Structure 1
Amino acid sequence: MSAPRTTPWPLVALFTAGYLAPYLLPTLVGRLDAHLPVSATQAGAIGSALLLSSATAGFLLASLVERAGPRRLARAGLLLAVIGYGTAALLHAVPAVVAGAVVGGFGSGTVTAVAATRIAAERDPHRASALGLLGVSALAGAVYLTVPHLGPGHGLPPAAIALTALAVWPFTGRLPAAAAVPHARRERAPLPHLGAGLVLVAVMPFWSLAQNALWGVSGRIGLTQARLTEATVGAVFAVALGAGLLGVLGAGALGPRLGRALPVGAGTVLIAGCVVVSASATGLPAFAGGEIAWNACYPIVLSYLIGLAASLDPRGRWAVFVGSASSLGTAAGPLTGSLLSARAGFPAMGAILAAGLLLIAVPMTAVALRAGRRPLPVVEIPVESPAPQTAKAA
């Protein structure tokens, strides 16, 4: 009988703090456009700058987490997130908001790098990453339900991210101050499964770009094309993120029975269809249906991709590289979505993004098929409060 597994709550908390900014991108960009003297394209560019900074942190730090020490690096990232997003929330001058977004984005990327590296070292990395997606989806859903009722202004979304970073700080005390890995081993260990890892790194920017080009303008689609109120759009997003929670729970229940190729390949095809529906919506039923179905599929596929990357290298380097490559696409998403929608309209933008997703589904599925020859970590996501698991861990 195997020993019961404990839940790595510090890593789940870090994952949540690191990924919250991309999840809040529609309301963050939408409020910049509505409450600051910037155009919709400029607001999208600010969102892209935030996420590009996050991706840069991931690429720079992928091989340095063990050397610098997870606790120290996580605290540095959380501090940058508090300072950067706090500045963006409190100040109204556009240059200060941009600078705060860039600093905060670097902090988010640093926190994500630590979380990804440590999760890859877990016995069940897929389970840990899925729990992180559950956490960030739940928190983002709560923010979408709350923010419209707290008044106008651009500062509420970045303030929520800064406060989350503060709340996660106590969890860093349970991280190791430094990894117990000999220096020579850290320096000389080659990257395993080089071909599969490089393919994932190459295609992930395009996969994420397509997702976040739509996600970055979804708020504007709901407000302008579907003619909904901000509260209604926020409620749709909250329900959609709730559907994402259910989707990840379902993926966890199915676990290895699905393998890797089916969730990655068929899931990406389903996402492409949802993108078309959402981008073409002219009323509440189509907008809500597309967003909810899309958000139910997206975290499922993402959880398998994160688990796939983690399985390629137990030291977590491919997980960080793939996550940072994903952030590059995420960074380009808001600006791409703004430019495409401004020049071609929302429906044409959706068709272009869907076509791109169908193309890149092929190499992604091929990598998943080849990696499927190695055992897939079993994913079991317990639906219970953190308290019992914390007691077990203690």
Structure 2
Amino acid sequence: MFSPRTTPWPLVALFTAGYLAPYLLPTVVGRLDVGLPLSATQAGAVGSALLLSSASAGFALASRVERIGARTLARAGLALAVVGYGGAALAGSVPAVVAGAVLGGFGSGTATTVAATRIAAQPDPHRASSLGLLSVSALAGVVYLTVPHLGGGHGQPLAAIALTALAVWPLTGRLPRATADVPARSGTGGARRPPHLRSGLVLVAAMPCWSLVQNALWGVSGRIGLTQAHLGEATVGAVFAVALGAGLLGVLGAGALGPRLGRAVPIGGGTVLIAGCVAVSASATGLASFAAGEIAWNALYPVVLSYLIGLAASLDPRGRWAVLVGSASSLGTAAGPLTGSLLSARAGFPVMGLVLGAGLLVVAVPLTAVALHTAGRPLLPGTVRRRGGTPAAVVAASTGTPHGSVPQIGAPEQQVVDIPVPAPARPARDAYDTAGPRRAGVGAGPGA
């Protein structure tokens, strides 16, 4: 249990352990085809299998976290991650590496599912998700700076993921065991069907495309730097570390900005800017263009992702949409490395960037529409929008509501809850007699 004023550090740590594998995907995929007898496309397929396993965990466990218990599931996921990634790091044969990566991916997906469910139950899910992205970006940056100095082979990045899962294990003791420990933020906690069904389904359908584009480029970014921009592995690693550092600044900015711009502007406008960064990075032929594209893209990507996670969490306090959207995103993430490998092999990196950028422009439309439809806009000072009615500030001004009783600018829109009111009792018959009703003061004389 976490109070509204405390930071849910166990959830932040669990979020970090679950998201680290996708963040390290370029170095994992890049080292698979160097240390093992795999082609670049086959290495991308292994990365896709890892992420597909992670997505399957989310879909399988989205509605079972409360029943099984967050602590039990989190520990099971972390154990699978330690065994899977650790075994893959130590293995020298392709089948063993693939099996370990798939097993570890399921563990990562389980940890992410628990974290997403619990973050959605927090009073401020956007803040919690921003802290998680901040943590995983910082850790991934450290890994990118360290791994090139530890020698070649596929084991180092996989071992880093396994060790992170092992380090997070002790922090799961503060997670709840049973459903009774799960806090509810609204009266929808017991609903059988998730609320905002249409918006949730649109978000679930759009997120795979959004994530596919991101990870199609991210999965081949290492090869772009090595083969097209003609950079060394240490230089590419340094660019990735700086890019992830820019991502840290982006997440900090998103956390400080909060809901002041709503969600539509960061999600829609940010996605359009990311499309341009994808095209620049994919066409890079030197250090300057490669670094500019990667740094700008990584600065924007976690910002938009944090708002998307917050949007999904706001649709259902029980976290069902957050988990389903996260799993749908993992499907796109899973297909990303293979898609990027195939597109770059057949059309080249620049054409791949143009195709991926165009796809982002298309998917920005439904994402922005969902953000607008679910009231992700900022509020004017002292107003609370009433669905289908007059802003509450107008009502407050005419009814003498004390100053400060309504949220100020930047506050999220308040949820309207229907409260059943019992039917009024029948009026008393004191003013009635056998001759019929009489109004007070009418027909009542001295002798009446």
**TM-score interval for Structure 1 and Structure 2 normalised by the shorter chain:** over 0.9
Report the secondary structure of 2:63's partner residue. Answer: coil
Deviations 1:317-343 (A, max 9, x none): 000000000000000000000000000
Separation of aligned partners in 2, 1:10 and 1:264: 27
Give the counterpart letter for 1:118 in structure 2: R
Superposed CA RMSD: 1.6
Separation of aligned partners in 2, 1:207 and 1:378: 28
Is the aligned partner of 1:125 residue 2:125? yes
Deviations 1:103-156 (A, max 9, x none): 000000000000000000000000000000000000000000000001111100
Separation of aligned partners in 1, 2:50 and 2:189: 30
Separation of aligned partners in 2, 1:159 and 1:127: 29
* Residues 68-107 of structure 1 mapped to structure 2, 5 A cutoff: 68-107=68-107
Aligned match for 2:221, one of 202, 218, 221: 218
* Residues 312-391 of structure 1 mapped to structure 2, 5 A cutoff: 312-372=315-375
Is the aligned partner of 1:230 residue 2:233? yes
Report if the CA contact (8 A) 2:262-2:377 is conserved. no
Report if the CA contact (8 A) 1:124-1:378 is conserved. no
Deviations 1:39-61 (A, max 9, x none): 00000000000000000000000
Residue 166 of structure 1 is matched in structure 2 by 166
Give the counterpart letter for 1:205 in structure 2: P
Residue 34 of structure 2 is matched in structure 1 by 34
Separation of aligned partners in 2, 1:313 and 1:188: 10
Separation of aligned partners in 1, 2:79 and 2:85: 10
Report the secondary structure of 1:257's partner residue. Answer: coil
Report if the CA contact (8 A) 2:260-2:378 is conserved. no
Separation of aligned partners in 1, 2:348 and 2:193: 46
Report the secondary structure of 2:258's partner residue. Answer: helix
Give the counterpart letter for 1:79 in structure 2: A
Greater alpha carbon shift after TM alignment, 243-252 vs 303-312 = 243-252
1:179 shift after superposition = 2.0
Separation of aligned partners in 2, 1:348 and 1:374: 36
Separation of aligned partners in 1, 2:376 and 2:205: 22
Residue 64 of structure 1 is matched in structure 2 by 64
Unaligned runs of 5+ in 2: 183-187, 380-409, 413-448
Residue 276 of structure 2 is matched in structure 1 by 273
Residue 310 of structure 1 is matched in structure 2 by 313
Residue 426 of structure 2 is matched in structure 1 by none
Separation of aligned partners in 1, 2:318 and 2:292: 40
Separation of aligned partners in 2, 1:172 and 1:181: 14
Report if the CA contact (8 A) 1:127-1:378 is conserved. no
Report if the CA contact (8 A) 1:55-1:327 is conserved. yes
Give the counterpart letter for 1:271 in structure 2: I
Report the secondary structure of 1:38's partner residue. Answer: coil
Report if the CA contact (8 A) 2:211-2:332 is conserved. yes
Report if the CA contact (8 A) 2:57-2:110 is conserved. yes
Distance 1:76 1:210, change over 3 A: same
Report the secondary structure of 2:180's partner residue. Answer: coil
Residue 253 of structure 1 is matched in structure 2 by 256
Distance 1:4 1:11, change over 3 A: closer
1:373 shift after superposition = 5.5
Separation of aligned partners in 1, 2:39 and 2:140: 25
Separation of aligned partners in 2, 1:224 and 1:378: 48
1:190 shift after superposition = 1.7
Separation of aligned partners in 2, 1:143 and 1:194: 40
Separation of aligned partners in 1, 2:276 and 2:232: 25
Separation of aligned partners in 2, 1:356 and 1:113: 27
Identity between Structure 1 and Structure 2 (%):
81
Separation of aligned partners in 2, 1:135 and 1:228: 28
Deviations 1:208-253 (A, max 9, x none): 0000000000000000000000000000000000000000111111
1:378 shift after superposition = 6.2
Separation of aligned partners in 1, 2:331 and 2:63: 18
* Residues 237-248 of structure 1 mapped to structure 2, 5 A cutoff: 237-248=240-251
Is the aligned partner of 1:299 residue 2:299? no
Unaligned runs of 5+ in 1: 380-394
Is the aligned partner of 1:209 residue 2:212? yes
**TM-score, normalised via structure 2 length:** 0.82
Residue 291 of structure 2 is matched in structure 1 by 288
Report if the CA contact (8 A) 2:262-2:376 is conserved. no
Separation of aligned partners in 2, 1:253 and 1:175: 27
Higher RCO, Cα 8 Å, sep 6+:
1
Report if the CA contact (8 A) 1:255-1:378 is conserved. no
Separation of aligned partners in 2, 1:317 and 1:84: 27
